[in-house]
Amino acid sequence: MASQTAIGRQQLGVVRGVAAGAAALLAVTAYCLIQQPFPEPEDRVRFWMKWNIPKAACLWWQIARVGNHRFSSPADIMGAGLSTNPSPQIKCMQATLQNTLEQTVLASLVHGGFAALAPLQWLQLIPAYTLLFVAGRVLFVARYESGAAARAPGVALTLLPTQLMLLGCCWLLFKDPW
Helix (H) / strand (E) containing 178: none
- Give the total number of structural domains in the chain: 1
Domain containing 48 equals 2-175
Whole-model pTM: value is 0.87
Tell me the DSSP string of 110-123. HHHHHHHHS-GGGT
Residue 129 has what pLDDT? 98
Residue 5 has what pLDDT? 75
Contacts of 34 (CB under 8 A, 6+ apart): none
Convert the pLDDT of each residue in 64-92 to its tens digit.
999 999 888 888 888 877 777 889 899 99
Residue 141 contacts residue 96 (beta carbons within 8 Å): yes
Q: What is the CA radius of gyration of the chain?
A: 19
Type of residue numbered 136: G
Residue 177 has what pLDDT? 83
Convert the pLDDT of each residue in 23-39 to its tens digit.
999 999 999 888 877 77
Q: Residue 166's domain is classified under what CATH number?
A: 1.20.120.550
Residue 2 has what pLDDT? 54
Type of residue numbered 87: S
Q: Give the residue ranges of the chain where pLDDT is below 50.
A: none
